[in-house]
Structure 1
Amino acid sequence: MLFRVLRRCCLASVFVIPATAIAGDYSPYVDRTGQERVFWGDTHLHTQYSTDAGMIGTTLKPEQAYRFAMGEEVTSSTGLRARLQRPLDFLVVSDHAESLGLPIAVQEAMPELLGNPWGREVYDLEQKGDGYAGFYKWAIDGMLPGVDPLGVPAINANIWQRQVTAADQYNRPGYFTALIGYEWTTTKNAKNLHRVVIFRDAADKAGQIIPFSSFDSSDPEDLWSFLEDYETNTGGQVLAIPHNGNLSNGLMFAPVRQNGQAMDETYARRRAHWEPLTEVTQIKGDGEAHPWLSPDDEFADFGTWDKGDIGGREAKSNDMLEFEYARSALRNGLKYGAAIGVNPFKFGMIGASDSHTGLAATREENYYGKFSKSEPAAGRWKEYVVRSPTDDALSLVAYEEVASGLAGVWAQENTREALFDAMRRREVYSTTGTRMVVRLFGGWEYVAADVQTPAMAQIGYRKGVPMGADLPPRDDAKAPVFMVMAAKDPDGANLDRIQMIKGWLNPDGQTAEKIYDIALSDDRSEGQNGQVPVVGNTVDVADASYTNTIGAAQLRRVWSDPDFDPDQRAFYYARVLEIPTPSWQAYDTKIFGDEFPESVPMSIQDRAYTSPIWYTP
């Protein structure tokens, strides 16, 4: 009886409603609107469907590329077991629109191919085991002059349907996102003006078109018209991402349009809309800055490719560099914006691999090369990436490749819609292959304590704007305040420093830049000469190893511009450097016994570049 009474009393106490109810919601997370997570992915990957991959040894199709990105083990084109250390969150398979699927048409002996004289010739070369000859024929007959040597759109349509179907099959909202995309690859006269096209949509909309290629037009303005028509006709959404300005020989960010006319407001507005991002780092070199353009930047010479164009046909001259690199383009964007009313180069910055192996592998110790012939093996460093037909000094060899890069996207969820929207608003950043976490906010009211609280991001959105945005207007001349946080890749190196890169427009119409070291590890400080002591180097080259006995796991800083002029247009972005780690060449030295040229670095400092925040008077 006593047990029953106690049981009734206990049950009654469980369901007693307190006299004072909670006003509002108890959970502090239910109404958050900011972007809470960073999602990692590769927006630029090629598979067997691309002629410059499938014709020269790549056997992986989009299905294998997605499985690898999702963390599964796959077998590479050269028979190696391959796996990521950690899965990616998203992937864009961006096979070339130009002759899309030609290798598959050859492999399957499609009647549409065999009935075409040019197609039959390529097929016969492949049957003889000379896929490289077929690839070179395609490059010489098609890519260099910018004309379609095959002219059988039914093949392109067939392969595009396979591609969008595979993307839908592997797209798993909340777990893994397969964004539909392709590459528009204008390489007329060997000048690289490539763009990756990314859709927000599924196959029901993206599958309604055949990808617009450089055989249709080599002018990016015609690509934008195609994208506009796509959105009008389908109700979908799409954007384009330029890449590899370093191989355009001064054309990627030139002030003159491809038709020879001067840049005007309409052009600037269209470019800023359709191309909200730029790819600033990948296997074919780093495109953030160049030491000739930024001689006072000790970290500007990273993965520099500046010999010539993408075909090794025209040597590079210094006057071309200004129109190839992201930082100089951001500076010129301020100047053009003041002159014509719209900044055409108001872009966010991401990284991607541009691997042609089907493997989005960007870590130094897990680097699978750009092409199948440069997958891990003794002597792979000697393979040509670009072989000049006239001057071998303009050729590019595999040992010059950079194991880069990745895109970090701040979004609320891992879906096509959320990731695309984050790219559209430029709330993204790039890394050279590692997964360090970086946040940047700009405003007028941040205080030092704000960056130390767990609610930093909520404060960041409430008091200001995130990376990729414009500083809110302000009436007085108070300097802007920036809040930056960087945390190491949990499976990677400690951090060396955070830098703030500022560019501005002077009253005389000239632009300038300055680099501020705003957060340093190991209690270092700037000396009287303005120089910061090096962080050190723990790399053991012989063992291809390093230790995290130097550097910091995390750096945070609230920083105000000490040189602010309220009358000057400006941009700010953060660059975060890791401590030195072994390069992929050091790992190959240890594993294969390779001996590289002395110019090849055995240790590097991986880095991140945030999208800028702009100030306009």
Structure 2
Amino acid sequence: MKRLLIGALLLPGMAFAQSYASDVAIGEGDVVLGQRHYSPFLDQSYPNRVFFGDTHLHTSYSTDAGMIGNSLGPDEAFRFARGEKVRAALGDYAQLVRPLDFLVVADHAENLGLAPMIAESNPALLAIPWGRKIHDLVKAGDPFGAYVMWGTEMGAGNDPIDDDDLTRSIWNRIVSSAERFNEPGVFTALHGFEWTSSPAMNNLHRIVMFRDDADKVEDLVPFSNYDSTDPEDLWRWMETYERDTGGRAMAFAHNGNLSNGLMFDDKRMNGEPIDVDYAERRARWEPLYEVTQIKGDGETHPLLSPNDEFADYYTWDRGNFGSELKTPDMLPREYARAALARGLKYEAEIGVNPFKFGMIGSTDSHTSLATTREDNYFGKATLGEPGAGHERYDENIVQPDFLGEEITVKHYETLAAGLAAAWARENTREAIWDAFKRKEVYATTGTRMTVRVFAGWDFEADDVHRPDFARTGYARGVPMGADLFAGPADAVPRFMIRALRDPDGANLDRIQIVKGWVGGDGEPKTQVFDVAWSGDRTPDADGKLPPVGSTVHGADYTNTIGAAALGGYWEDPLFDRGQRAYYYVRVLEIPTPSWLAHDEAFYGPQGLPDDAVMVQQERAYTSPIWYTP
């Protein structure tokens, strides 16, 4: 009898499972919104999941990676990002603690795939005299000489190959790889590339990221530095792409700290001042800024934020890529916090904000490995991978030119990368891209902490603790990346914030809000406010919160200080209804060991310089919320 009962229960269940897809599953059109249902989630449409990824990863198809030892291509990059074990170029094995949710293989457009073509003795490359020459140099055992040969042409803006058909064939290989590894709902492989504009060795690089599938992006010839060094020409190229294909594209810049004041300059590349047309196009095509990555952090600078004790975080401020030293007047046109405030000033003057960008982080790794944890850092390039010996610390990332060692930045000064976090409902190309477009994204320095912020006019302190926190936020306010327009008379903006630690990482120290505005004197201003913090600390007479302390000992630390989660409610005490403003959230973890400390624990003392960072505080920066009168 017992057996008969089990059989009777199982057989209908099996039939139900087989017919589920055709008979039981329903689409959104089958739900009548507004009708009373027992399940409260049927009409939920707001983003309810956070996805972590890297939008700036290079493989051997980037000449400055493949020509200096990286032998891993796009397939290995996607496999690694999806959580597989991969053997790095120098032979060690690597794996992520958890897979990423999305990845953009963003190889440099300039002579795309040169190293793989040399390795395979590509006939089309060998048919070009310069291609034959560099091929033979590598095959003769002089890859460094070949790299210098290529760099000379690249630096001069001369395309030594100049063959669109050849470039197109290599681009299509990357497209095919992304298509193979893209799995909607599980892992998103977005198509993209890097435009590497470096006029006078100043960094104006942009990542271009597409929303589209292979049917629209295949057979493209990515826009390169050889085509133009002017971002406005890149925007025109993207506009043409969208018009011709019906697709969607966006760009985001990175490393303003190496632009020597050009990234957020007061004038265009043609020398003309910023006007309405330029401001509208920049805001349209560049909705985001990559604020943190291996080559230093770009949130702010100690000279720009002297009252911010956390401003000096992996500061790279010696110059550009090697031709010009930094001067203090360049800094306001390089860092995100100052640029956001200057954007408000432009909006007040011309009616449009050219620097109205959200913030993301990414790696810019040239190893094909998107490693962002301090205890799993495989370096900026193959020469800096684990096992490379002291070259891992001594390699020049910024090369000295005629200025000598004063401008050099070495690999031991790199940050163990960053991540982009996107709020969306599903892990697909369309959903991730759309989250980026509406700026509902945030940057981290590699940690996978969860951060959410809403601004509104009638939030109450207890709303932070509601189980339907997000529903409340969307119903009565706006999320990160959005605009908050004028509210009721005498009301002030109210913010509610939640932050949750990385489940494999450190506890949280504090939540802060960074506000920027234009003062009565017409000049941009910024200020940092502590909103919520761990422990029973009390701000001092100057309003400064004492440090959280530290449990770091060598490469070890404990989560016996800090908090696993923090919630904050804040009202702007300086609010002026007639004053434009932006607000973004910065969340800090407790101190943790840097990758250098982990290296010394593994390899033993390395004789690192006195300025080597052994203890640091990981952080996240949300996209701003803008208030407009």
TM-score between the two structures when normalised by the length of structure 2: 0.93
Question: Aligned pair 1:167/2:158, yes or no?
Answer: no
Deviates more, 1:458-467 or 1:383-392: 383-392
- Counterpart contact for 2:486–2:577, Cα < 8 Å: no
For 2:500, the equivalent position in structure 1 comes to 487
- Counterpart contact for 1:112–1:152, Cα < 8 Å: no
Question: Aligned pair 1:374/2:384, yes or no?
Answer: yes
SS at match of 1:471: strand
From 187, 190, 208, the equivalent of 1:176 is 187
Please state how far the C-alpha of 1:132 moved relative to its aligned partner.
Answer: 2.0
Aligned equivalents of 2:453 and 2:488: distance in 1? 23
For 1:102, the equivalent position in structure 2 comes to 114
For 2:201, the equivalent position in structure 1 comes to 190
Deviates more, 1:46-55 or 1:524-533: 524-533
Aligned equivalents of 2:465 and 2:491: distance in 1? 23
- Counterpart contact for 1:55–1:131, Cα < 8 Å: yes
Once the two structures are superposed, the pairs formed by residues 232-251 of structure 1 within 5 Å of their partners are: 232-251=243-262
For 1:273, the equivalent position in structure 2 comes to 284
Please state how far the C-alpha of 1:33 moved relative to its aligned partner.
Answer: 1.2
From 604, 613, 616, the equivalent of 2:625 is 613
Question: Aligned pair 1:385/2:397, yes or no?
Answer: yes
Aligned equivalents of 1:615 and 1:341: distance in 2? 14
Aligned equivalents of 1:509 and 1:114: distance in 2? 60
For 1:5, the equivalent position in structure 2 comes to none
Please state how far the C-alpha of 1:115 moved relative to its aligned partner.
Answer: 2.0
Please state how far the C-alpha of 1:407 moved relative to its aligned partner.
Answer: 0.4
Question: Aligned pair 1:38/2:64, yes or no?
Answer: no
SS at match of 2:307: coil
Aligned equivalents of 2:101 and 2:613: distance in 1? 31
Aligned equivalents of 1:57 and 1:223: distance in 2? 30
From 509, 521, 546, the equivalent of 2:534 is 521
For 1:8, the equivalent position in structure 2 comes to none
Q: Percent identity?
A: 56
Question: Aligned pair 1:562/2:573, yes or no?
Answer: yes
For 1:127, the equivalent position in structure 2 comes to 139
Please state how far the C-alpha of 1:23 moved relative to its aligned partner.
Answer: 7.0
Once the two structures are superposed, the pairs formed by residues 444-483 of structure 1 within 5 Å of their partners are: 444-483=457-496
Deviates more, 1:406-415 or 1:592-601: 592-601
SS at match of 1:577: strand
Question: Aligned pair 1:48/2:29, yes or no?
Answer: no
Please state how far the C-alpha of 1:119 moved relative to its aligned partner.
Answer: 1.5
Q: Render the CA deviation track for 1:280-308: whole Å, top value 9, x for unaligned.
A: 00000000000011111100000111111
Q: Which runs of 5+ in 1 are unaligned?
A: 1-21
Once the two structures are superposed, the pairs formed by residues 17-416 of structure 1 within 5 Å of their partners are: 24-142=36-154, 144-310=155-321, 312-377=322-387, 378-379=389-390, 380-390=392-402, 391-416=404-429
Q: Render the CA deviation track for 1:423-462: whole Å, top value 9, x for unaligned.
A: 0000000000010000011110111111101100000000
Q: Render the CA deviation track for 1:147-205: whole Å, top value 9, x for unaligned.
A: 21221222211110001111111100000000000000011221110000000001110
Aligned equivalents of 1:91 and 1:187: distance in 2? 25
Deviates more, 1:28-37 or 1:602-611: 28-37
SS at match of 2:608: coil
Question: Aligned pair 1:590/2:580, yes or no?
Answer: no
- Counterpart contact for 1:105–1:155, Cα < 8 Å: no
- Counterpart contact for 1:58–1:356, Cα < 8 Å: yes
- Counterpart contact for 1:100–1:155, Cα < 8 Å: no
SS at match of 1:322: helix
Q: Render the CA deviation track for 1:219-258: whole Å, top value 9, x for unaligned.
A: 1001000100100100000000101111011100001000
Aligned equivalents of 2:494 and 2:507: distance in 1? 26
Aligned equivalents of 2:551 and 2:561: distance in 1? 8
Question: Aligned pair 1:437/2:447, yes or no?
Answer: no
Please state how far the C-alpha of 1:477 moved relative to its aligned partner.
Answer: 3.2
SS at match of 2:484: coil
Aligned equivalents of 1:23 and 1:130: distance in 2? 72
Number of equivalenced pairs: 592
- Counterpart contact for 2:457–2:488, Cα < 8 Å: no
Aligned equivalents of 2:424 and 2:435: distance in 1? 6
Please state how far the C-alpha of 1:139 moved relative to its aligned partner.
Answer: 1.7
Aligned equivalents of 2:621 and 2:148: distance in 1? 36
- Counterpart contact for 1:589–1:595, Cα < 8 Å: no
Question: Aligned pair 1:419/2:464, yes or no?
Answer: no
Aligned equivalents of 1:475 and 1:528: distance in 2? 33
Aligned equivalents of 1:596 and 1:72: distance in 2? 32
Aligned equivalents of 1:536 and 1:508: distance in 2? 39
SS at match of 2:200: helix
Question: Which amino acid in the other structure matches residue 317 of structure 1?
Answer: T
Aligned equivalents of 2:401 and 2:253: distance in 1? 26
- Counterpart contact for 2:169–2:219, Cα < 8 Å: no
- Counterpart contact for 1:464–1:472, Cα < 8 Å: no
For 1:545, the equivalent position in structure 2 comes to 556
Aligned equivalents of 1:529 and 1:290: distance in 2? 21
Aligned equivalents of 2:84 and 2:192: distance in 1? 22
Residues 23 and 270 of structure 1, relative CA distance in 2, 3 Å threshold: closer
Question: Which amino acid in the other structure matches residue 509 of structure 1?
Answer: G
Please state how far the C-alpha of 1:475 moved relative to its aligned partner.
Answer: 4.5
Aligned equivalents of 2:178 and 2:88: distance in 1? 20
Aligned equivalents of 2:142 and 2:263: distance in 1? 34
SS at match of 2:215: helix
Please state how far the C-alpha of 1:516 moved relative to its aligned partner.
Answer: 0.4
Q: Which runs of 5+ in 2 are unaligned?
A: 1-33
Aligned equivalents of 1:341 and 1:609: distance in 2? 27
Deviates more, 1:114-123 or 1:424-433: 114-123
Please state how far the C-alpha of 1:523 moved relative to its aligned partner.
Answer: 1.7
SS at match of 2:228: coil
Deviates more, 1:586-595 or 1:330-339: 586-595
Q: Render the CA deviation track for 1:113-169: whole Å, top value 9, x for unaligned.
A: 212222122112211222222222222212x22221221222211110001111111
Aligned equivalents of 1:547 and 1:506: distance in 2? 43
Please state how far the C-alpha of 1:479 moved relative to its aligned partner.
Answer: 0.9
SS at match of 1:26: coil
Aligned equivalents of 2:573 and 2:419: distance in 1? 32
Deviates more, 1:317-326 or 1:523-532: 523-532
- Counterpart contact for 1:383–1:397, Cα < 8 Å: yes
- Counterpart contact for 2:171–2:219, Cα < 8 Å: no
Aligned equivalents of 2:258 and 2:455: distance in 1? 33
Question: Which amino acid in the other structure matches residue 157 of structure 2?
Answer: G
Aligned equivalents of 1:572 and 1:399: distance in 2? 33
For 2:14, the equivalent position in structure 1 comes to none
Question: Which amino acid in the other structure matches residue 536 of structure 1?
Answer: G
Aligned equivalents of 1:376 and 1:453: distance in 2? 46
Runs of 4+ in 1 over 6 A off after TM superposition: none
Question: Which amino acid in the other structure matches residue 371 of structure 1?
Answer: A
Aligned equivalents of 2:219 and 2:348: distance in 1? 40
